[in-house]
Amino acid sequence: MGDVCVIGVGMTRFGKFPERTLTDLALEALLNAGRDAGVDLKRIQAAFVGHVRQAGQGAMLGQRIMRDIGVTGIPVLNVENICSSGSSAVWCARGLISSGQFDLVAVVGVEQLSILGKGVIPPRREDLEGLQGMTLPAYFAMVARRHMYEYGTTLEQLAKVSVKNHKNGCLNPYAQYRREITLEQIENSAMVADPLTVLHCSPTGDGAAAAIICSEKVARKYTATPVRIAASVLTSGTYNGNWRDLTTNDQTKRAAGQAYETSGIGPEDLDLIELHDCFTIAEVTHYENLGLCRQGDGGALIDQGATELTGKIPVNPSGGLLAKGHPLGATGVAQIVEIVWQLRGEAGDRQVPGARTGLAHCLGGVIDGLDLGACTVHILKK
């Protein structure tokens, strides 16, 4: 059984495009990916579409997208796993190709949050926490406060994550925000849930990303140098009787552990990482969860500059969710797009020199009593 490969990627710019539609965003990304692969999209055997269906829109979105390019009759699956929707669609594609069911599959992730208006993503009212005022910024603010208390992490260390990712975003033509910000601006921006101000939070926005994924046999027809998926892992949260440790994320640790084990690639072998920096504190805790440093040392890692574009392990060269943007369903696929570009040496001004392996980490869904809802880790290699 050969590897599963990514032979084409594409995305839209991320931003606020209330005048566009979900299908139009998705088509742009999919057509870009098809062109990039040199694949006739009529040959696609199945499609997996990640989308969170905010505001009740988007039912059967995958079928609508495929209808619009005349690729009909094939299996189409709409995948919802909150922020991990797009990366869960990648997981589906990879698993079904690897089991021999398909040779050539399209994955699309898309979201349009601008039509919801401003503000936080509405919490789920069936959750007691959501019912009583929990918001995502509130959750991560509580994580931050506890992490600061237990490990001496500082607010300035957290802010440095946002400075770094905005700096990287400036180098990414697809990023929602292409402006540098200072520690002072972060401190003085509006408080959302203390200690986190708005510049500690990823923005809401719109966008789409797509990938053409296939078996090694098919990949050889299109390219001599396909990017391989060395590991693809999906985990869900662990229920522990409402006694969750907010300073760590068990499911990220488990997903990363499995990915390292199955691929034989460890954290020390990675050339770059795209991780789920929905809030600055999330990036710091995931340094620890992904094994880049010991538990509690995430703040020191950002201080040392290790995760800068020029550091020993660049994290979120694309600008991450904080600067590139976070259209929920699109995010997980966009991480794959960035890593493929990096491994091919096509990442322009933000290119990590000589990158051969990259890891994508996605995590989503604050649910009562679970550490979090869904986590994916993918490792890609040349």
Partner 1 sequence: MKEERDSAGRTVPIREGLFAVPGEKPERPYLLGSRCRRCGSVYFPRRAVCANCLGETMEEIPLSRRGRLYTYTIVRYPAPGLRAPYAVGYVDLPEGVRVFSVLTGWDDENLGLGIDMELVVERFGEDAEGNEVQTYKFRPLQG
Q: Return residues touching partner 1 (CB under 8 A).
A: 119-120, 122-123, 128-135, 137-138, 141-143, 145-146, 149, 190-196, 198, 239, 241-244, 246, 368
Of 137, 185, 161, 172, nearest to 324 by C-alpha is 172
Residue 223 or 248: which CB sits closer to partner 1? 248
**Minimum distance from CB of 190 to partner 1 (Å)?**
7
**Minimum distance from CB of 54 to partner 1 (Å)?**
13
Residue 31 or 121: which CB sits closer to partner 1? 121
Residue 190 or 224: which CB sits closer to partner 1? 190
Q: How many CA atoms lie within 13 A of 256 on its CB side?
A: 25
**Minimum distance from CB of 161 to partner 1 (Å)?**
18
**Minimum distance from CB of 198 to partner 1 (Å)?**
8
Are the C-beta atoms of 249 and 285 separated by less than 8 Å? yes
**Minimum distance from CB of 138 to partner 1 (Å)?**
5
286 catalytic? Reply is no
Question: SS3 string of the chain?
Answer: CCCEEEEEEEECCCECCCCCCHHHHHHHHHHHHHHHHCCCHHHCCEEEEECCCHHHCCCCHHHHHHHHCCCCCCCEEEECECECHHHHHHHHHHHHHHCCCCCEEEEEEEEECHHHCCCCCCCCCCCHHHHCCCCHHHHHHHHHHHHHHHHCCCHHHHHHHHHHHHHHHCCCCCCCCCCCCCHHHHHHCCEEECCEEHHHECCCCEEEEEEEEEEHHHHHHHCCCCEEEEEEEEEECCECCCCCCCCCCHHHHHHHHHHHHHHCCCHHHCCEEECCCCEHHHHHHHHHHCCCCCCCCHHHHHHHCCCCCCCCCCECCCCHHHHCCCCHHHHHHHHHHHHHHHHHCCCHHHCCCCCCEEEEEEEECCCCCECCCEEEEEEEEC
Q: Which two tokens stand for residue 333?
A: 């696929």
Q: What is the dihedral of CA 364, 365, 367, 373, to 10 degrees?
A: -40
Residue 144 or 270: which CB sits closer to partner 1? 144
Residue 100 or 133: which CB sits closer to partner 1? 133
Residue 83 or 196: which CB sits closer to partner 1? 196
**Minimum distance from CB of 323 to partner 1 (Å)?**
20
Q: Which two tokens stand for residue 129?
A: 């926490």
Measured CA to CA, the distance from residue 215 to residue 223 in angstroms comes to 12
278 catalytic? Reply is no
Catalytic residue among 166, 200, 286, 326: 326
Catalytic residue among 83, 201, 214, 293: 83
Residue 93 or 155: which CB sits closer to partner 1? 155
**Minimum distance from CB of 47 to partner 1 (Å)?**
33
Residues catalogued as catalytic: 83, 326
